């Protein structure tokens, strides 16, 4: 096969490569996005453009000074990385190892620092540091901008390349140079990669009566939406109901999202079956979907609900907060969320690599666009950097004494306190009006 390629005239080889690239690429796009017939055409202009690309590949292979860097595999992979990264910050080409890492993410395990990143305004930005990970324990915060990784500027580093550097074998040291926009501070963080297993549902408990008064208010934190999240969350609610829970605080702060189906199933714990909670719309008709809560689930009491969000709440957590807010099922408290509301399709290629590219945008039940806007809370409660650090430290320290946790919440976690106050107000109002409602009924 190699001999035959070398025997072909240069022009013929270019044409063969162009044709192969064109027809394989066209098929891949059709499978991935299933566009309208007019969206993808095999006209002469398309063929000419891909022939130009093939010509460039052959010229580089023929004359580039370093012959070790010009294999077809390396050149085509580099081209696909550039092609996907040029579309938007969330589209990317994944080699087989990267694709496997992405699959591991949805199963709540991977190796790395525990920091979710995205490109925002051209800068590599922390979406959220995940709980109980090296990044969170070091004090890295949502919104931090990563200027350097191991002393190398991230200015021209693609998103997938940055992720590849941040992840890797446990035990290796990584130094991040961070700019914190809130105070313009630049600081180096020396971190060590670890094997990370994320518990997606944490903190299920009744809050201290010192915080809630005569009411039994439950608290649950969803760290991210993975395969086991919905089942774990349902079991946690079962336990809280057995303890007499009257209202719930659902904490989605610093939740970077995850699986859409998982987020929809969690919404099914609060909303009637077959309630539309999110929709998607893209260029192709196949990307127009409506997602509704599943049927056949356990019926739960209509208890008062508060959802806590912040700048680190993204994607799936924005879908949950947006739906509960729009459908008037919850009071959303905190800060405007990250604004990551686009749909990425992942299509595996024959060699085990994959394309991940944006095909649609998410819309809340009221047709609000999440992408770039985020979800605005009903009650806006910003935290100072000092308060944010105290709350993060509390979330990442399971050994703290309950009395100390209560003290920290009262003095530092203003979002939690405003949420509890809102719930208490709802329950007090319900107590005062329910006898009058009964009297009217009689």
Which domains, ranges and CATH numbers included, belong to the chain?
A: 2-70 (no CATH), 96-107+109-197 (2.30.42.10), 201-343+359-434 (3.90.226.10)
> Residue 60 and residue 220: Cα distance in Å, rounded?
56
> Residue 230 and residue 209: Cα distance in Å, rounded?
28
Please enumerate in sequence order all residues whose Cβ is within 8 A of that of 365, keeping only pairs 6 or more positions apart, or say none.
276, 277, 278, 322, 323, 326, 327
Phi, psi of 384 (to 5 degrees): -75, 160
Q: Is the pLDDT of residue 19 over 70?
A: no
Residue 326 known to be catalytic: yes
Phi, psi of 301 (to 5 degrees): -60, 155
Which residue in 340, 342, 353, 412 is the catalytic one?
Answer: 340
Query: Is the separation of the CB atoms in 167 and 193 below 8 Å?
Result: yes
Write the pLDDT tens digit of every residue in 123-178. Answer: 899 887 877 788 888 889 888 999 999 998 998 787 777 887 888 778 889 999 99
Question: What value does the mean pLDDT take over residues 112-125?
Answer: 85
Write the pLDDT tens digit of every residue in 229-250. Answer: 999 999 999 999 999 999 999 9
Angle, nearest 10°, between helix axes 260-267 and 316-326?
30
Residue 315 known to be catalytic: yes
Which residue in 262, 315, 342, 353 is the catalytic one?
Answer: 315
pLDDT at 299: 86
Distance of CA 184 to the CA centre of its chain: 26
High-pLDDT (> 90) share of the chain, %: 52
Grade residue 116 by pLDDT with cuts at 50, 70 and 90: confident
> Residue 343 and residue 290: Cα distance in Å, rounded?
13
Closest CA to 262 of 238, 289, 228, 287: 228
High-pLDDT (> 70) share of the chain, %: 85
Tell me which of 112-121, 253-262, 356-365 is least confident.
112-121
Tell me which of 55-59, 293-297, 409-413 is least confident.
293-297
Residue 340 known to be catalytic: yes
pLDDT at 415: 97
Which residue in 95, 98, 326, 388 is the catalytic one?
Answer: 326
pLDDT at 261: 93
Query: Is the separation of the CB atoms in 357 and 309 below 8 Å?
Result: no
pLDDT at 158: 75
Query: Is the separation of the CB atoms in 359 and 332 below 8 Å?
Result: no
Write the pLDDT tens digit of every residue in 164-189. Answer: 788 877 888 999 999 998 888 999 99
Residue 5 CB neighbours (<10 A): 12
Please enumerate in sequence order all residues whose Cβ is within 8 A of that of 105, keeping only pairs 6 or more positions apart, or say none.
226, 258
> Residue 196 and residue 108: Cα distance in Å, rounded?
8
State the number of CA atoms in the 13 A half-sphere of 351 facing the CB: 12
Question: What value does the mean pLDDT take over residues 399-419?
Answer: 86
């Amino acid at each position: 096969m190699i001999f035959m390629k070398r025997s072909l005239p240069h022009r013929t080889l270019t044409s063969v490569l162009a044709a192969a690239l064109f027809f394989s690429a066209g098929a891949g796009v059709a499978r991935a996005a299933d566009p309208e017939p007019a969206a993808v055409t095999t006209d002469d202009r398309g063929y000419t453009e891909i022939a130009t690309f093939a010509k460039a590949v052959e010229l580089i292979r023929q004359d580039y000074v370093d012959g070790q860097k010009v294999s077809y595999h390396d050149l085509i992979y580099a081209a696909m990385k550039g092609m996907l990264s040029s579309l938007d910050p969330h589209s990317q080409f994944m080699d087989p190892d990267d694709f496997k890492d992405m699959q591991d993410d949805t199963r709540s395990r991977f190796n790395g620092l525990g920091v979710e990143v995205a490109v925002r305004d051209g800068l590599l930005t922390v979406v959220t540091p995940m709980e109980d990970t090296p990044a969170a324990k070091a004090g890295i915060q949502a919104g931090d901008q990563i200027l350097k990784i191991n002393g190398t500027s991230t200015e021209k580093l693609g998103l997938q390349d940055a992720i590849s550097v941040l992840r890797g074998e446990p035990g290796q040291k990584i130094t991040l140079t961070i700019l914190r926009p809130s105070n313009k501070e630049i600081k180096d963080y020396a971190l060590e990669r670890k094997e990370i297993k994320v518990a997606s549902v944490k903190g299920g408990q009744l809050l201290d009566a010192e915080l809630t008064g005569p009411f039994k208010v439950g608290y649950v934190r969803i760290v991210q939406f993975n395969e086991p999240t919905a089942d774990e969350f349902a079991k946690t609610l079962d336990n809280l109901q057995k303890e007499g829970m009257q209202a719930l605080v659902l904490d989605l702060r610093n939740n970077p999202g995850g699986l859409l189906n998982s987020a929809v199933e969690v919404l099914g714990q609060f909303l009637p079956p077959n309630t539309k909670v999110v929709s998607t719309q893209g260029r192709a008709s196949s990307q127009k979907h409506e997602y509704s809560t599943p049927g056949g689930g356990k019926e739960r009491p209509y208890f008062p609900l508060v959802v806590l969000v912040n700048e680190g709440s993204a994607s799936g957590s924005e879908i949950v907060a947006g739906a509960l807010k729009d459908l008037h099922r919850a009071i959303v408290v905190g800060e405007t969320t990250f604004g990551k509301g686009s749909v990425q399709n992942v299509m595996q290629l024959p060699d085990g690599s994959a394309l991940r590219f944006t095909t649609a945008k998410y819309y809340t039940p009221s047709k609000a666009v999440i992408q770039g806007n985020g979800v605005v809370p009903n009650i806006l409660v910003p935290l100072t950097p000092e308060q944010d650090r105290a709350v993060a430290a509390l979330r990442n320290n399971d050994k703290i004494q309950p009395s100390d946790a209560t003290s920290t919440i009262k003095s530092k976690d203003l979002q939690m306190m405003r949420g509890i106050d809102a719930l208490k107000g709802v329950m007090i109002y319900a107590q005062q009006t329910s006898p009058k409602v009964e009297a009217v009924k009689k």
